[in-house]
A = this chain, B = another copy of it.
């Protein structure tokens, strides 16, 4: 199976997970998330990641998305995946946003090369989707004020 694993500080990863469930369906066993909460040590976080990935086998593939490259959640989770012998089947991307995760979740089973799809097409679209949204201020002023 192709898994999407979300990790972060705070409650960003489980919060984004809930948003994805609203848009792509809930109770999916292929989307997993955990986060380094305020006051939690790296050891406890690592143990939570170990628990979360214990159903993933060597025949599976993983896209791991994190809040930021260089942060402790991504680094710690990467070490746990390496420890479990799964890092060779994992593509990791920091700076996750909803379009990155949603696009990966919706397209992953159609991609020939999962890692390549994530690191090129999904990343590129996610970057483009960080965009300004505008509505005509003047028009609104007439409507509402």
From the candidates B74, B88, B97, name the one contacting A95 in the complex (CB within 8 A): B97
Interface residues on A, range: 35 or more
Interface string of A1-31 (1 = CB under 8 A from B): 0000000111111111111111100100000
CA distance A72 to B5 in the complex (A): 26
A144 on the interface (CB 8 Å rule)? yes
B38/A87 in contact, CB under 8 A: no
Question: In the bound complex, what is the Cα–Cα distance between A130 and B124 (angstroms)?
Answer: 9
Residue of B whose beta carbon sits closest to that of A145: B85
Contact B82 A135 (CB under 8 A): yes
- The stretch among A41-49, A62-70, A105-113 that forms the contact with chain B is A62-70
Can you list 9 A-B pairs, Cβ within 8 angstroms, ordered by A?
A8-B19, A9-B18, A10-B17, A10-B18, A11-B11, A19-B67, A26-B38, A85-B144, A92-B134
Apart from A12-B12, A18-B38, A82-B143, 17 more pairs, CB < 8 Å: A9-B98, A10-B16, A10-B19, A11-B11, A11-B19, A12-B16, A15-B15, A18-B37, A19-B35, A19-B67, A67-B98, A74-B133, A87-B140, A91-B132, A94-B130, A95-B99, A97-B97
